[in-house]
Structure formats: C-alpha cells, structure tokens
C-alpha cells in the first residue's frame, strides 16, 4: 500500500497524478471528501468495483455512489420534471454533501448499481477529491472507506487501521470537514424522497426545491422494507454492545445493581445537558447540544474512542432529539445501536437488568 500525505491546498500535483494513475489502472484509492473518506475506483471498471465490494466485505446488492467532477456529465434524464429538479438540486448543493439517485446509469460497471435501475451521483466539495476526479478523467465509484457495518472514517488513519493493505493507495489530507456522510435523495416518479439523512438537513432541501420532499421508511428508522439497500439496522457501529436512549431520561434512581457490569456502562450524552445516571457509570460526551455541526464533525471519532478495546460492557448513546443535523446524528446513533432505542426509565432498567450476568429475577 502506498500512503501519500497531501496538503488540502497547495501543490500536491505529483501525488494526485499518482493516485489518478492507480485509479485508471484499476486500483483502489482511499481519498478524502468533505464528509468521510471514500474507497474509490474507476466507475467503468467492473473488476475494480468488485474489488471495492470485496475489500469492504459489502453485500453486492448495496450500490455505490458515483463521484463526478464539477463539469458533471449531463445525466440522461428523459423526463423534463426530473431534469429540472436534478438541475435545481445540483445547482444548490454541488459540489457538496448531497447524493442524488436517478433512474439510469447503465453506462457504469454493472455492480455499481447493485442490481437496481437507478444510480447515485454526487460531486464532492473537497479540493483533493475534485483534483483526483479531474486527473483521473473518469467518474469514481466510492463507498465510505470502512469495513461493512463499522464506523465511517473521518481521517486517513482510520482507513489505514481498518482497511490498510486492501487499498492500493491512501491519500491523507487530514480530518474531514463535515464528518457525516452525504444526504441521499431519490428523484423518481415525480417524487423526491430522502433515503438517508446526512450533512444537508431536510429543512435546507425543502427550502431549495419547489417540489415536496418526503422521508423514506429507511431514513425513519421504522420497521418495513428499506428503499435504500444500504440502510441496514446495524451500521456505523462500534464493536462493543450499544443501545440508544431517548433524551431527558432520569436514570439516577436506577437501583444499584452492585454488579461489575455497572462499571463498564458508558453513558454518552452532551456537555450542556444534565446527565442523570448512576454514579458507577462512566459519563462521556458527544459535545455541546447547541453546536450540532461540531457534534457531527466529531461523532465517528468519538464513537471510535468510546469503543473500548476489550469490547466489554455497554455504550448508551443519548439521542439529540433535534431537527436539522440532529436527524442525521440520531440516525447514526440509532444504527450504531442496531436500531434499539430505549424510550423510558423502565425500558432502561429492564435492559440493564437483562445484561447483568448475576441477575436475580424479581
């Protein structure tokens, strides 16, 4: 594996040219975007795309995002309504953290679409990603550069730790600016549907297009069929057992279990919210609830830090309960917890009691 450090701005032409060569030769390049690092390859090269799936151990029915440069190829949308909406969205948010799913895309390597008749496209807002796209001269298919189901990488070091020798080259441009993945929106049958909450909040989407924007089942964390195949319940997950809890619960009255387990419970809340938990639990923070951009920026870094190396105990992740970026943050926290949300003091009590290996039934 080659590891090249690139300054975000300034002269990195040589490194970019080298990475572009690796892409054209069918290799895998981990590169920074404004959201998270991607594991990229030539979107026209089926063999390379298959290698990306294999490196991540990602199921083949979970399609990849095709990253395009600023002068994006005209998407061949036949219907005028879709063309107008996609144009409006692209003008408002590209380059940037919005992925647009549209019908078509059969010019790309077949596995890119994961067996669907739609393709996901985004133009990333990062000088290195854009320079790489221009130098490679081909669109780059790239999922987040983490093994399937694990926490997404917000620095090149995360990529090296997780996928190390499975990449041919890593471009290290430091930490990513936003820290949360792009919002995924589908344009189909005269409907706009958010398939994944992300760095562009729903409210901003709604403010920028005339058409109405609905939220898909998958992004609601509700039971039922998932529109976006990537929206598995367990995703973005620490290795230790994790559970999400509703904001504002008073857990300080939980009866002391007196079990060694209490010492391995880590409650992850926010700096400026009261944290009402038993004294034996550790208290950790995702940052200030008043600054969700910073919470988002640091979210994956924090989840990695809070994932104990011995994988013992429990992480309790308090949801923000906020609109805007809070939706994406709560979505990732809920998935990190495999979809389990505890919504009352009693639910927490029962959950903790179940975990206690020496529990006495009441």
- Contact partner, 289, from Mg ion, ligand TXA, none, Cβ < 5-8 Å per class: none
Angle of helix 13-24 relative to helix 127-136, nearest 10 degrees? 50
Please say whether the beta carbons of 105 and 114 come within 8 A: no
In the complex with Mg ion, the residue whose CB is nearer, 63 or 95, is 63
Work out how close the CB of 359 gets to ligand TXA at its nearest, in angstroms, rounded to a whole number.
38
**CB atoms closer than 10 angstroms to residue 161:** 12
Work out how close the CB of 118 gets to Mg ion at its nearest, in angstroms, rounded to a whole number.
18
The residue at minimum Cβ distance from Mg ion is 144
Binding mask 214-243 for ligand TXA (x = CB under 6 A): --------------xxxx------------
Binding mask 137-176 for ligand TXA (x = CB under 6 A): -----xxx--------------------------------
Binding mask 129-158 for Mg ion (x = CB under 5 A): ---------------x--------------
User: Cα separation of 113 and 105, whole Å?
Assistant: 8
- The binder of ligand TXA chosen from 63, 96, 153, 269 (CB under 6 A): 63
Kindly state whether residue 133 participates in binding ligand TXA, applying the rule CB under 6 A: no
Distances (CA, A) of 324 to 22, 88, 108: 38, 21, 34
Contacts of 153 (CB under 8 A, 6+ apart): 30, 36, 37, 144, 145, 146, 159, 162, 300
Q: SS3 string of 118-147?
A: EEEEECCCCHHHHHHHHHHCCCEEECECCC
- The binder of ligand TXA chosen from 15, 99, 302, 334 (CB under 6 A): 99
User: Cα separation of 204 and 321, whole Å?
Assistant: 18
Kindly state whether residue 120 participates in binding ligand TXA, applying the rule CB under 6 A: yes
Kindly state whether residue 183 participates in binding Mg ion, applying the rule CB under 5 A: no
Kindly state whether residue 113 participates in binding ligand TXA, applying the rule CB under 6 A: yes
DSSP string, 194-255: EEE--SS-HHHHHTT-SS-EEE-HHHHT-SS--SSTT--SS-SB-SSEEEEE-TT---TTSP
Distances (CA, A) of 232 to 58, 98, 269, 271, 273: 11, 20, 24, 30, 30
Task: Kindly determine how many residues on this chain lie close enough to bind ligand TXA according to the rule CB under 6 A.
Answer: 30
- The binder of ligand TXA chosen from 6, 15, 27, 35 (CB under 6 A): 35
In the complex with ligand TXA, the residue whose CB is nearer, 32 or 313, is 32
Work out how close the CB of 322 gets to Mg ion at its nearest, in angstroms, rounded to a whole number.
23
Please name every residue paired with 50 in a beta bridge, in sequence order, or none if there are none: none
Kindly state whether residue 193 participates in binding ligand TXA, applying the rule CB under 6 A: no
Work out how close the CB of 131 gets to ligand TXA at its nearest, in angstroms, rounded to a whole number.
16
| Residue 285: alpha-carbon gap to chain centroid | 20
Work out how close the CB of 105 gets to ligand TXA at its nearest, in angstroms, rounded to a whole number.
7
In the complex with Mg ion, the residue whose CB is nearer, 144 or 302, is 144
In the complex with ligand TXA, the residue whose CB is nearer, 32 or 269, is 32
Kindly state whether residue 184 participates in binding ligand TXA, applying the rule CB under 6 A: yes
The residue at minimum Cβ distance from ligand TXA is 230
- Contact partner, 234, from ligand TXA, Mg ion, none, Cβ < 5-8 Å per class: none
User: Cα separation of 65 and 38, whole Å?
Assistant: 10
Please say whether the beta carbons of 127 and 19 come within 8 A: no
Closest-CA residue to 177 (of 306, 352, 296, 329): 296
Q: How large is the C-alpha radius of gyration of the chain?
A: 21
Kindly state whether residue 35 participates in binding Mg ion, applying the rule CB under 5 A: no
Please say whether the beta carbons of 262 and 313 come within 8 A: no
Residue numbers of the site for ligand TXA (CB under 6 A)? Answer: 33, 35-36, 38, 62-65, 97, 99, 101, 113, 116, 118-120, 122, 124, 142-144, 181-182, 184, 195-196, 228-231
Residue numbers of the site for Mg ion (CB under 5 A)? Answer: 144
């Amino acid at each position: 594996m080659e590891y090249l450090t690139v300054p975000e701005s300034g002269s990195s032409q040589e490194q970019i040219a080298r990475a572009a060569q690796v892409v054209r030769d069918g290799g895998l390049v981990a590169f920074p975007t404004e959201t998270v690092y991607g594991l990229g390859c030539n979107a026209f090269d089926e063999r390379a795309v298959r290698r990306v799936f294999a490196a991540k151990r990602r199921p083949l029915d979970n399609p990849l995002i095709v990253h395009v440069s600023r002068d994006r190829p005209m998407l061949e949308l036949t219907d005028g309504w879709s063309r107008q909406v996609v144009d409006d969205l692209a003008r408002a948010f590209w380059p940037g953290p919005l992925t647009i799913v549209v019908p078509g895309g059969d010019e790309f390597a077949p596995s890119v679409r994961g067996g669907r008749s739609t393709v996901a496209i985004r133009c990333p807002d990062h000088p290195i990603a854009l320079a790489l796209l221009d130098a490679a001269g081909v669109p780059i298919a790239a999922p987040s550069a983490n093994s399937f189901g694990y926490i997404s990488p917000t620095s090149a070091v995360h990529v090296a730790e997780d996928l190390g020798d499975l990449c041919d080259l890593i471009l290290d441009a430091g930490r990513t600016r936003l820290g949360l993945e792009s919002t995924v929106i589908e344009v189909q049958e005269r409907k706009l549907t958010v398939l994944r909450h992300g760095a562009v909040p729903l409210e901003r989407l709604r403010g920028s297009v005339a058409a109405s924007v609905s939220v898909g089942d998958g992004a609601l964390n509700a039971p039922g069929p998932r529109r976006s195949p990537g929206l598995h319940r367990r995703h973005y997950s620490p290795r230790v057992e994790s559970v999400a809890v509703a904001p504002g619960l008073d857990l300080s009255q939980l009866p002391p279990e007196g079990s060694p387990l209490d010492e391995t419970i880590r409650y992850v809340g926010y700096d400026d919210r009261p944290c009402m938990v038993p004294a034996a639990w550790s208290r950790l923070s995702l940052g200030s609830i008043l600054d969700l951009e910073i919470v988002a920026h640091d979210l994956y870094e924090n989840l990695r830090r809070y994932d104990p190396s011995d994988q013992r105990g429990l992480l309790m992740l308090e949801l923000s309960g906020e609109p805007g970026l809070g939706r994406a943050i709560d979505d990732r926290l809920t998935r990190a917890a495999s979809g389990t949300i505890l919504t009352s003091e009693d639910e927490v009590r029962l959950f903790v009691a179940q975990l206690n290996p020496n529990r006495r039934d009441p």
